[in-house]
Each structure stands twice: as structure tokens, then as C-alpha cells.
């Protein structure tokens, strides 16, 4: 349920104005349009993440087991 931003009264579905104080109910789009992918995020997905994964795999292959502390 939506509420009036001025008086806090519960608003009926589809109401354009508050029935108690008359404040206009702001219209919200049904579905916001999705944002285009950020160039930074795309660069991370294509370049940085695969390179980091390769480096980590190389470290794991070269590393030796660590002796536990007693």
C-alpha cells in the first residue's frame, strides 16, 4: 500500500490525489528502463577478471602446502 507523503494517509490503488489532504500523488513509471552497461564494468568483465583469475591459478600451482603452526 502507498501512503501520502504529506499527511501519511493510505492511498487507494490508482489514486492521483490524496483523499485526506488533496496532495497530488507522484507518478512512478511502471518499469524503469534498464541502464546500459558501464564501460568500466565491461572492461572489468572482459579484461581484468580473466587476467586476475589466470594469475591466481599460477600462484596456486607454484605454492606449496603451508605447515600448520603448533
pLDDT tens profile 30-53: 777 888 888 888 888 888 888 888
Q: What is the Cα–Cα distance from 17 to 20, expressed in whole angstroms?
A: 9
The answer to whether position 13 is within a domain reads yes
Q: How many domains does the chain have?
A: 1
The answer to whether position 33 is within a domain reads no
Which one is predicted more confidently, 47 or 23?
A: 23
The answer to whether position 5 is within a domain reads yes
Which one is predicted more confidently, 53 or 3?
A: 3
The answer to whether position 10 is within a domain reads yes
pTM summary value:
0.40
Closest to 21 in 3D by CA, of 7, 1, 5, 2: 7
The answer to whether position 60 is within a domain reads no
Segments forming the whole domain that contains residue 11? 1-26
Pick from 15-19, 23-27, 51-55: least confident:
51-55
The answer to whether position 62 is within a domain reads no
The answer to whether position 17 is within a domain reads yes
Q: What is the Cα–Cα distance from 23 to 16, expressed in whole angstroms?
A: 9
Amino acid at each position: 500500500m502507498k501512503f501520502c507523503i504529506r499527511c501519511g494517509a493510505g492511498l487507494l490503488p490508482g489514486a492521483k490525489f490524496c483523499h485526506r489532504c488533496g496532495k497530488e500523488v507522484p507518478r512512478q513509471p511502471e518499469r524503469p528502463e534498464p541502464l546500459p552497461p558501464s564501460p568500466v564494468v565491461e572492461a572489468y568483465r572482459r579484461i581484468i577478471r580473466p587476467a586476475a583469475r589466470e594469475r591466481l591459478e599460477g600462484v596456486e600451482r607454484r605454492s606449496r602446502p603451508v605447515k600448520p603452526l603448533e
